[in-house]
Structure 1
Amino acid sequence: MDGDYLKALIVFGALLLSMPLSAAQLDLQLGANSRIWQTEELLKHPQVQTLTVKDDVSYKKDMTYRAVPVAALLGGIKPEDHLQAVALDGFAAELAAAPLLNTQGSRAWLAIEDPAHPWPPLSAGKHSAGPFYLVWTDPQAGNISPEQWPFEVASIKRMAPVAERFPALLPDPALKADDPVNQGFALFQKNCLACHRLNGAGDAQFGPDLNIPYNPTEYFGADFLKRYIRDPQSLRQWPQAKMPGFSAQVLPEEDLQMLVGYLKHMVGRKVKP
């Protein structure tokens, strides 16, 4: 590649970065209440407000947004429903509807990036969390995990429950409903399924499969798997690492034990994709 061509590419890239953001659209696929919202419509929503989020999960600092309560956008959705928030890059967060519908305690908000006032990039060379970002106020009250803060959201869809869509994820059906393994399966859906598949099942495009060819409980010794889940960078570091740590506040020790218990259980239930 000659020098002039390289310079032209650099100038063009700088020009793109300097251009103002364009408006975006959010696709809500909710059955009879499906709707496509434009940025301008959401910024004029009757319930939009200026919201300060303390210690934002993605930006690692306090952030102020224009935001609408997610519950105000989910017409016809019931607490027992299941939703999936899909990001522009394919990240798919599995979300129980009940917490999204809360009006007290932990509350979910759709933050809207105004093209006239863009948010900062998430890190050097990266995009912002926009155009739409699902954020929470008082997340500790509901044990909201980092995976429940999807950014660059493009659509929110009502889906069949994970267990129906991906039977290869299911523990032994002979186990009682309240068995710790089944509780661990629920925690896996909440905290892991947005980035990982298991037995080839799931919509994730990011992390490795957690059972094929090997389950992490098969190659992490002693309590190193728990340590890895708590703080991935404490065990291995590389520039493109994306896995967040799960603090005891987000994933209490008893929950972590049940999550690892589910993974151990699934070693005996491998199903090759």
Structure 2
Amino acid sequence: MKLSLRCWLPLLALPFLVHAAELKIDVGHGATIYTTAALLQRPDVRTITVPNDVAFHRTMQYRAVPLAALLDRLDSRDHLQFVASDGFAAEMPAALVLDRRGGEAWLAIEDPAAPWPGLSQHRGSAGPFYIVWTQPRGVPVNPEQWPYQLAAIHRLDDVAARFPAILPDPSQPAGSAVQLGFTVFQRTCFACHTLNGEGDAKLGPDLNLPHNPTEYLRTDLLRAFIRDPQSLHRWPQAKMQGFDTQALSDADLDAVLAYLRHMAQRKAAH
């Protein structure tokens, strides 16, 4: 039986769609749109090897461009947001990229001629663009700072300036568990969740409205859920990944819980 032209069209269009993928970068001097094809033709594109890749949990090879080369006139005091097509929004200080404090950041580009394998646990593809890191230099890069399915990079004010409703009470001293928890929250939870209705992520529920998880989960269950979400709800399609002790130390987890308990008393008006 012959396939109709209508059946063939999606197959014929697939390479074109991958080639047509676009990444928008705006660091304050006007937006630049990069296509897959243009990035793969750059003179600085390299084949890199990434051991223990965060998304694939094994050694991976990519065609990639140094991320700093795409961030023209960016200052190390600036702040960046990485937005994925699924609603994930990672916040990152520019210094982490420019000063290489956590290693060297690369923009990995999915080549239509050699597509990447699918991700595990119903997460689809990591492409067409993915931030990966090589040569760690002692400052840990959090798993949330490896955004895949990347669609845009923006220079923005930092989180505290943009979203005042997520700030702890100013009476909390610097170095307190609540203030430390706020810092950890920004680099972990805030990439997927909003709090008090504020934030750019669209992947997970709000963590304070109408209820804070510390209000309806025992501390031991909440800790277990953050370590392994499937330990609380067996849900094969769930997108939340657990945080092991390398990604989130016990001390940092304690601090996040202290921040969430604190914010449960600082709910924004409904």
TM-score w.r.t. structure 2 length?
0.89
Cα distance in 1 for partners of 2:101, 2:143 equals: 20
Does the alignment pair 1:161 with 2:147?
A: no
Task: State the Cα deviation string for residues 97-141 of structure 1 (Å, max 9, x = none).
Answer: 111223465221110111222212224876421111011225583
Per the alignment, do residues 23 and 271 of structure 1 end up closer, same or farther by CA in structure 2, a change over 3 Å counting? same
**Superposed CA RMSD:** 2.5
Q: Give how far 1:178 is off.
A: 2.7
* Counterpart in the other structure of 1:19: 14
Q: Give how far 1:12 is off.
A: 4.2
Does the alignment pair 1:244 with 2:241?
A: yes
* Counterpart in the other structure of 1:212: 209
2:138 to 136, 141, 147: 141
* Counterpart in the other structure of 2:195: 198
Q: Give how far 1:239 is off.
A: 2.0
Kindly indicate whether the alpha-carbon contact (under 8 Å) linking 1:66 and 1:111 is maintained by their aligned counterparts in 2.
yes
Per the alignment, do residues 254 and 77 of structure 1 end up closer, same or farther by CA in structure 2, a change over 3 Å counting? same
Per the alignment, do residues 104 and 82 of structure 1 end up closer, same or farther by CA in structure 2, a change over 3 Å counting? closer
Does the alignment pair 1:150 with 2:147?
A: yes
1:100-119 alignment runs, 5 A limit: 100-103=97-100, 105-119=102-116
Per the alignment, do residues 139 and 13 of structure 1 end up closer, same or farther by CA in structure 2, a change over 3 Å counting? farther
Opposite residue 252 of structure 2, the aligned amino acid is D
Q: Give how far 1:13 is off.
A: 9.3
Residue correspondences, number: 265
* Counterpart in the other structure of 1:3: none
Kindly indicate whether the alpha-carbon contact (under 8 Å) linking 1:146 and 1:244 is maintained by their aligned counterparts in 2.
no
2:42 to 34, 45, 49: 45
Uncovered stretches (5+) of structure 1, i.e. residues with no partner:
1-6
Per the alignment, do residues 126 and 264 of structure 1 end up closer, same or farther by CA in structure 2, a change over 3 Å counting? closer
Cα distance in 2 for partners of 1:222, 1:118 equals: 42
Cα distance in 2 for partners of 1:162, 1:209 equals: 16
Q: Structure 1 stretches (4+) deviating beyond 6 angstroms?
A: none
Kindly indicate whether the alpha-carbon contact (under 8 Å) linking 2:101 and 2:138 is maintained by their aligned counterparts in 1.
no
* Counterpart in the other structure of 2:92: 95
Kindly indicate whether the alpha-carbon contact (under 8 Å) linking 1:102 and 1:108 is maintained by their aligned counterparts in 2.
no
TM-score w.r.t. structure 1 length?
0.88
Cα distance in 1 for partners of 2:234, 2:162 equals: 34
Cα distance in 1 for partners of 2:267, 2:43 equals: 50
Cα distance in 1 for partners of 2:269, 2:155 equals: 28
Uncovered stretches (5+) of structure 2, i.e. residues with no partner:
none
* Counterpart in the other structure of 2:82: 85
Per the alignment, do residues 241 and 140 of structure 1 end up closer, same or farther by CA in structure 2, a change over 3 Å counting? farther
Q: Alignment identity in percent?
A: 53
Task: State the Cα deviation string for residues 179-200 of structure 1 (Å, max 9, x = none).
Answer: 2211211111100111111111
